[in-house]
Structure 1
């Protein structure tokens, strides 16, 4: 029996296990952004539970066990969204084909069209936020809708500053990809 106390080195997890966990998860989840989110959740859960690690397995096996639970949680969340009605938004091309007018637009009509355009953009943004992981969506909503600082976001969501920046960066990339489908330049 080993009498030495094993010390978990969480700082090495990314270097030692990320590639394996990524490939393991990617074989089970098709969306790369969701894969990264699941792995992040796994590392955070392991970090919180590291004091409970009983050394009955290797560190990698322990992380994979946590990862399996996170994948199951992911599919439960996905299944809970099935069958829900989604908002229909019209692409720029569909709008032009359907509503293109050749007559001149008055100034008051132009103002009304700007309001409609802003409302459409808000709807597209809401629909886009529904397609990214919840943790990323939460950070964006707090930053954009509530105009909170990074520190306030970290306090509200109980996350580190680094995690908030990573979530915001991933959200921006995902939203940029999604919004280009609607011809919005990001």
Structure 2
């Protein structure tokens, strides 16, 4: 049975979805030009796969799913070369977190950032510092951290997509948190 593609309106994609898709990509990709390219690639891929659109979701949801896969491809390429020092035994860091629940131990809890919830300028400044700190992470760490904490992907999905073992995944998350914590405390507090 042929799929009814009359639900798609490709002539309106740029005006209706480009800004949203670009913002989605920018949160996950540091390079503005690469984010723009990914949005264009998303539109092209959607046009090529218009016959696959089943109408079970909105156009925007479908386009976002395509973009998300393109972003994962970027993560995969960036993290293809894993430096052995990126993934090592985390035994030296175990004292930071409770082994039972994974939360910070009392002595090592992060300090209050002093963010005022009602101060948009301060939040904007904090977000800029957080982005800068995230960009200092090794590519694999950034990919894993972004997929886990921004995209809320399941750990198993991240491991499969980025081809890392479960134990390496948790070491990477752990190290990324420690690095972000140190960076934020140095640059924000």
TM-score by length of 2: 0.39
Q: Which is bigger in relative contact order (C-alpha 8 A, separation at least 6)? A: 2
Structure number with larger C-alpha Rg: 1
TM-score by length of 1: 0.40
